[in-house]
Chains A and B, each alone.
Chain A
Amino acid sequence: MKILIIILAAFMGFAFTGGNLLKLVYPSYFPEPVYAFKANQLTQEKINLGRMLFYDPVLSKDQTISCADCHSPYNAFAHTDHDLSHGIHDSIGTRNAPALFNLAWQNTFMWDGAIHNLDMQALAPLNHPAEMDEDIENVVQKLNESTRYKKAFYSAWGDSIVTGEHFLKAISQFQLSLVSATAKYDAVKSGTANFTEQEQTGYSLFQNNCNSCHREPLFSTYGFANNGLAIDTALNDLGRYGITEKEEDRLKFKIPSLRNLSYTFPYMHDGRFNKLSEVLNHYTHLQPGDSPERALRSALPLTSRDKTDIIAFLLTLDDKEFVFDLKNKYPQELLLENKNQ
């Protein structure tokens, strides 16, 4: 009997770890992720919980805005058609909502790198008066009053008491699971598809002109750069300088990935360009002194034909499979059933 109890207790102990540990799946030509998975090991239960939270407007003060409102799965988790992010009470923010994918390879977040750990990122929109205008203490309290969430937290963490730590780590888990690595480019890399002649020409031009900042295979170094955009005097956004107060960081913004561009327009930190051709024209019209970056000291020497070829290549970075992946969609089965709990 005693032994049985011990075995049972041990079994329950395992049950409380919240399911089997998962390993992030990514192609062999990707670098090692930088996220510290050791402190937040992936499980399906935790990813599911994170997905519920991501799509649930309960996170906002008046229960109207969810993460997915500005990070829509159909836009590779960006917000198409909105140059600046659109939050609670029709507030308009000051920056374009960035796309969310391949976050495990990034260790700074936001256009100015204000956040240095994915776990802590959610606090920023949660608290921002023009986004969700809520604070984490209230969210934790709301979740603790919900039977549905208490169950979900229990199955994820073996503890039905909602804490800030578990809440933030679960949201990280869902976001970490958003890996975009199934574009045509990836098929070519793995040898299961070929570029067209134009795409191949565009790829070579890309490698010579763009790859130093938008480095493949993630298509960003995830560093910061001042790409020579004139400051929007209505926003007066100084970018990374606002965080570091270092002169060399003035007007630097985080370099975005070029994956999924078809789904993530408008472009740049303030969403000022609607078309890829406008973006390329910016780089071919740079004047000396516009940008302090070595790669942009003078205008990129690209002809109209070159630009068309580069765009043809960039479109091979559209990851339709990722954008339409059902496992990333609104979790109807998790959020709509038993809605009143």
Chain B
Amino acid sequence: MDKKYLSIFLSFLVLLFVNLPLKAQKMDASCNSGTIQLQIHPILNKQPLVLGQRVFVPLLNDSVQIDRLRFYLSNMSFSNASDTQKNIGQQFFLIDIEDSTSLNPQLQLKKVNQWDDIHFSVGVDSATQLKGAQGGDLDPMHGMYWSWRSGYINFKCEGVSPVCPSRKNAFLFHIGGFQSPFNTIQSVSLPVYSDTVVIQIDITPLLTLSSITENYQLMSPNAKAMTFANQFPSLFHSIP
């Protein structure tokens, strides 16, 4: 082979290799494939949340142990400046920290595009709530449906803390309600950085002194549940 051609070929190869990571990085800048991997990372006090583990929470000046964390994410969509992908197949995701598959749902989008933002609701919308028995993640056998009155529990967090004055120091936050004025469903929008969308949900702000020492049993759709639910959007962050 001609030496000249070889050097051109080699430099082309070099260029290609140099370029590849660059190109990949550019692709990562915002997500553009049809498959999106969600990763939900529950956080407590800046650390990954581990069920049954006691963690010191400075705000309470005492420890907290979370024993259950489940919530619904629904109505997911992706958008950029000019386009939106609304229908992504599965409509309701029951996120359960005890079930690692639920923390890592894979989404198949019909459109291949560069998305800037992900949008979703925390909870189950009222039209769905009014329907009869449903299956899959909405099956009432997942412990996320009230029995004494109709309605899904949109967000469930249970645990113990020595500062909680209840029996066995247990606090129960079963946040639901879908009828005005106590419609507890919340909307969240977050930036998307790559095909893998890592979403942190930091529950630390929920564990305030008043929630643990006064409102430690929320199990009805009422004003207190509403105040609690209004915090949800600020708990979620996507990380690059």
* Known A165-B134, A169-B132; contact A120-B139, beta-carbon cutoff 8 A: no
Chain B, 211-232, CB within 8 A of any chain A CB: 222
Could you tell me the distance between the alpha carbons of A36 and B134 in the complex, rounded to whole angstroms?
Answer: 13
- Report chain A residues within 8 Å CB of B145: 120, 123
Q: Does A17 contact B (CB under 8 A)?
A: no
A120 touches B135 (CB 8 A): no
Closest-by-CB residue of B relative to A141 is B141
* Known A120-B140, A123-B140; contact A164-B133, beta-carbon cutoff 8 A: yes
Could you tell me the distance between the alpha carbons of A174 and B222 in the complex, rounded to whole angstroms?
Answer: 34
Number of A-B contacts (CB under 8 A): 70
B133 touches A120 (CB 8 A): yes
Q: Does B25 contact A (CB under 8 A)?
A: no
A243 touches B139 (CB 8 A): no
Could you tell me the distance between the alpha carbons of A168 and B147 in the complex, rounded to whole angstroms?
Answer: 12
The interface residues of chain B, by DSSP majority, are classed as: loop
Q: Mark A267-285, 1 if CB is under 8 A from B, else 0.
A: 0000000000000000000
- Report chain B residues within 8 Å CB of A39: 131-132
Tell me which of B132, B142, B222 contacts A120 (CB under 8 A): B132
Could you tell me the distance between the alpha carbons of A115 and B147 in the complex, rounded to whole angstroms?
Answer: 9
Q: Does B168 contact A (CB under 8 A)?
A: no
B133 touches A165 (CB 8 A): yes
Q: Mark A114-139, 1 if CB is under 8 A from B, else 0.
A: 11111110011011100000011100
A115 touches B140 (CB 8 A): no
A164 touches B140 (CB 8 A): yes
Could you tell me the distance between the alpha carbons of A245 and B141 in the complex, rounded to whole angstroms?
Answer: 28
B143 touches A127 (CB 8 A): no
Tell me which of A163, A172, A243 contacts B132 (CB under 8 A): A172
B132 touches A117 (CB 8 A): yes
Q: Does A20 contact B (CB under 8 A)?
A: no
Q: Does B150 contact A (CB under 8 A)?
A: yes
Q: Does B149 contact A (CB under 8 A)?
A: yes
Q: Mark B139-160, 1 if CB is under 8 A from A, else 0.
A: 1111101111110000000000
> Can you list 18 A-B contacts (CB < 8 A)?
A36-B132, A39-B132, A116-B130, A116-B150, A119-B133, A120-B150, A123-B140, A124-B147, A127-B147, A135-B147, A137-B142, A163-B135, A164-B133, A164-B140, A164-B141, A165-B134, A165-B135, A245-B222
* Besides the known contacts A123-B145, A124-B148, 4 further A-B residue pairs in the complex with CB atoms under 8 A apart: A123-B146, A136-B141, A164-B139, A172-B133
Residues in chain A within 8 A of chain B (CB atoms): 36, 39-40, 114-120, 123-124, 126-128, 135-137, 140, 163-166, 168-169, 172, 243, 245
